[in-house]
Copies of this chain bind each other. A is one copy, B any other.
Amino acid sequence: VPLLDAAGVTAFVESVWPGAFEAYEVVDVGDRTARVKLRYHDRMLRPGGTVSGPSLMALADTAMWAAVLGAVGPVAMTVTTHLDIDFLRFVGSHDVVADARLLKLGRRLAVGDVLMTADGASEPCARASLTYSIPPDAAPGAS
């Protein structure tokens, strides 16, 4: 059971960073997992008519942040230290759903990966892996 569920993550982020989740919907937060939807907007397009790379990168970061918040509770200042992303398929002008899972939640680092799929597609449009640095006193868990 996560320390924060989808509503808890959304409320916490809104309290510390109003508007930060304007483009996102936290669909679900589970046991070291989170599902976050990017709501399509024209400003996310790049030439060729597809959601831009930075928009997908920001989505991956947001989904992993939701999973971390669910697991460690309301800690504002986790910091992304590393992101690796493969762009697999064009998205077009669609919402994109990201599924994040934490693979390690240590005292100092959290590592996880994210799979992103455009609304209605059967194959993923991108994958990412991320590392978060967790400030001292924030993590409940073991290494």
Give the number of residues in A that approach B within 8 Å (Cβ atoms). 39
A101-118 interface bits toward B, Cβ cutoff 8 Å, 1 = contact, 0 = none: 001100011010101000
Report A44-84 CB contacts with B as 1/0, cut-off 8 Å.
00111000011101100100000000000000110111111
Q: Do A82 and B89 touch (CB < 8 A)? A: no
List 6 extra interface pairs beyond A17-B47, A82-B131, CB under 8 A.
Answer: A54-B61, A57-B57, A80-B87, A81-B131, A83-B83, A127-B129
Nearest 9 pairs of A and B residues by beta carbon? A54-B58, A88-B104, A84-B84, A57-B57, A54-B54, A17-B47, A86-B111, A82-B86, A83-B85
